[in-house]
Amino acid sequence: MIEADARWQPLDLGELWRYRELLFFFTWRDIKIRYKQTELGAIWAILQPLTTTGIFVLLFGLLMQGNEPSVPGVPYALSTFCAMLPWQFFSEGLTRSGNSLIQDQGLITKVYFPRLLLPISSVATGLVDFGVAFVALLLMMAWYGLWPSWAVLALPGFVALAAMASLAVGVWLSALSAIYRDFRHVQPFLIRVGMYVSPVIYASSSLKHALPEWALALYSLNPMVGVIEGFRWALLGKAPPPGWALVPSVVITAVLFVSGLFYFRRMERTVVDVI
């Protein structure tokens, strides 16, 4: 009788290093597929956050008439577009990594390789869009006459934290979606709700006088709160530092990331059988 091993499997990170060339191939493949036969190409990476920012600028401008929930001393358009970049990187990486096993089911059922390469490459692909949109952000900052301070040195750390948060949730959803297809419908819902419970279209400082202490503590458990506010702080110069909001972001991301790796490792063989 052949039975699945129900025990937790140890992580073999050395195997990922041995297959690093395959990881590069998957990433390059996803990039080419993403922009193949498109007229605008990488410009879509700018149009999406820019259009969303324009809609919220118009909406809040009409409703609040100069009292937009922006970072103090920063135009609302710049404050929102700056937050859109890490959020778009997180949400798109989450969507692609969460569906990575299902999309490549014909490949993983025919040949062996570390399945974890698929969600990792899906998140890494988003770095291209992020880089293109980041150039647009720098041009917008120059237009408004704002320049980053020495805090910009911390920016790579916040980008890495956003990538880890995206991969942490994506690894969980990729394994769950391959076995329980209901989770494919959960992903868009999580992204839509997550955008409004993250400081994307508003600054966290605007909530301090509107929410009680327990609500603010619960709000800070969102790992993207510290990432987005840290991103604003590192680039805009006038934004307050993330402070204690960064601690829950790092802790929650680390817990989700490590637990997601172990869960993915345990379900890796089962996924191949049932996908």
Contacts of 89 (CB under 8 A, 6+ apart): 126, 127, 129, 130, 159, 162, 163, 166
Sign of CA dihedral 146, 139, 42, 19: negative
Q: What is the pLDDT of residue 161?
A: 94
CB half-sphere exposure, 204, CA atoms < 13 A: 29
Residue 88 lies in a domain: yes
Residue 110 lies in a domain: yes
* Cα–Cα distance for residue pair 218/23, rounded to 1 Å: 37
Q: Report which secondary-structure segment, H or E, holds 95.
A: helix 76-98
Residue 14 lies in a domain: no
Length of the chain equals: 275
Total number of domains in the chain: 1
Model pLDDT for residues 79-101, shown as the tens digit of each residue: 999 999 999 999 999 999 988 88
Cβ(30)–Cβ(125) below 8 Å: yes
Q: What is the pLDDT of residue 80?
A: 92
Residue 119 lies in a domain: yes
Q: What is the pLDDT of residue 227?
A: 92
Which residues of the chain are under the pLDDT cut of 70? 1-10, 37-41, 66, 275
* Cα–Cα distance for residue pair 162/160, rounded to 1 Å: 5
Residue 6 lies in a domain: no
Q: Could you tell me the pTM of the whole model?
A: 0.88
Q: What is the pLDDT of residue 61?
A: 77
Q: What is the pLDDT of residue 120?
A: 93
Closest CA to 224 of 94, 98, 103, 125: 94
* Cα–Cα distance for residue pair 121/114, rounded to 1 Å: 12
Residue 72 lies in a domain: yes
Q: What is the pLDDT of residue 107?
A: 84
3-state secondary structure of 71: coil
Residue 31 lies in a domain: no
Sign of CA dihedral 89, 91, 94, 98: negative
Range of the domain at 222: 41-274
* Cα–Cα distance for residue pair 162/171, rounded to 1 Å: 14
Residue 7 lies in a domain: no
- Residue 136 CA, chain-centre distance (Å), reads 19
DSSP result, 121-154 = HHHHHHHHHHHHHHHHHHHHHHHHT----GGGGG
* Cα–Cα distance for residue pair 135/29, rounded to 1 Å: 24
